[in-house]
Structure formats: structure tokens, C-alpha cells
Amino acid sequence: MSTPAVAPSVLFVCVHNAGRSQMAAAFLTRLGGDRVEVRSAGSAPAQTVNPAVVEALAEVGIDISAEVPKVLTVEAVQASDVVITMGCGDACPYFPGKRYLDWKLEDPAGQGVEAVRPIRDQIEQRIRRLLAELGIEPVA
């Protein structure tokens, strides 16, 4: 019998951890199930998750209403196999040996749900591609 591979760990980072990184973490959690470890954080976290982001995800059956923006820590980066930044600039710590991706996505801050929907859909497609790259079949 072969031993199961350790689940890859992915960290999503944006400035406020209130929009893009929350959506990405929610989609990866939904589509990756327990086959991937998911974290998200912000270099300058907001007080709350963007309400338009909560609403846009609720439209596709994902509830993040209980999520709270988290501060980016060196430990979170060190514990992750893949670090995906979304407009975090130089605030993201760099460690050799980690896989870094920078996803250029519009910032949903201050925008209504109509503007957030296309960002949400782009993030879902990127998450599906990431799962394929990691060799993980999406749950849904």
C-alpha cells in the first residue's frame, strides 16, 4: 500500500484579506475539499470581509459570512507550498523554495456585487486551473 501524499498547502494574500483572497480561499476549499490545505491573509487586514464579496459568493452557494480577515504572518508563508499574491506588492515575504504566483485581478473594494461577480468568476476559473496543476480533481 502506498502512503497518501501530504495535501499541498496554498496561501492567498492580498492587502486587506477582505475580497480576492477570501474568494480564492473559499473556492479552493469548496473545490479542493480535504485534498488541499487553504489559508488566506492580508498585509493590512480590513475589519470585515467585503459585503459585496459575501453576497457574490452566496449567489454560487458559498457562505463566507463568518470569515474574518487575518493578518499575514511569516509562519503562514513558511507553512505553505504555493503562495498566490493578489495585489500585495512588496508586503509579501519571500522564501526560497516556495512556489509564488501573482494573480492580477481587479480589486473589489468599494464596489457593488455587480462589479464583484466577474472577479468571482475569474477567481473560480483560476482555482480550477490551479487544482489541475496540482493534480487534484475538483469536488464540484
Based on the residue annotation, tell me whether 26 is a catalytic residue of this protein: no
Residue in 28, 49, 88, 113 annotated catalytic: 88
Residue in 84, 92, 123, 130 annotated catalytic: 92
Taking CA atoms, 102 is separated from 15, 29, 48, 62, 139, in Å, by 13, 19, 24, 24, 25
Q: Are 65 and 59 in contact (CB under 8 A)?
A: no
Based on the residue annotation, tell me whether 27 is a catalytic residue of this protein: no
Based on the residue annotation, tell me whether 92 is a catalytic residue of this protein: yes
Q: List strands edge to edge, sheet with 99-102.
A: 37-42, 9-14, 82-85, 99-102
Residue in 11, 14, 24, 28 annotated catalytic: 14
Instruction: Return the bridge partners of 38, or none.
Output: 10
Q: Which residues are catalytically annotated? A: 14, 88, 92
